[in-house]
Amino acid sequence: MNDHSTKTKLIIGLGNPGKKHYNNRHNVGFMILDLLANELGFEFTRRQFKALVTDGSFNGSKLILAKPQTFMNHSGRSVGSLTRFYRIPYSDMLVAYDDLDLPPGTMQLRPAGGSAGHNGMRSIFDNLGTQAFPRLRIGIGRPPGRIDPADYVLQDFNSDDQILLEITLKRAVDCVRLYIQEGIQAAMTKFNSPPGL
């Protein structure tokens, strides 16, 4: 058993709480965690530090899944409290979220980086005082025409998006599972979109 399978991992999905936001583009982080929890037999049955939280074991690791319920722009309040309470090194947490700069159907796993204008990530940076933690960016593409990006991310995925969305979410969950099992380098090598996509 390698080093990666003996640590506690904290996996965070970003989104906005409430039924009206359930299928928004901004909520792909929640969607990934819901699918991952379902595959692992976990249930989000408790609230902790302004997040829906569940935990269990996977591949010999303790795994904590969290969906902050603070609304996107204040995600850092929840994430900061969770990391401090569980004493999670930043290298052992992963944040999954939507990204306007990546085309739909693509994703990028990175060990660190900036916010690219994402307010949820900005809030986490401000709370943790660092940008050095793994993140999984899920492409939702740029809004068509003159639609304001702030409005676009709060729109639901439409019926034409559903097949590609389901494929992307499944790939994202497989990426997270490999990250937990074998570490970030293995997951980046297998799942990051090819250059130019």
The token duo for 192 is 């990051």
Residue spans of alpha helices (H) in 61-161 = 75-86, 119-128, 149-152
Contacts of 111 (CB under 8 A, 6+ apart): 91, 132, 133, 134, 184
Tokens 């990530």 map to which residue?
Answer: 121
Do the Cβ atoms of 179 and 94 come closer than 8 Å? Answer: yes
Q: Is 74 a catalytic residue?
A: no
**Residue of 4, 26, 74, 118 with catalytic role:** 26
Catalytic residue ranges:
26
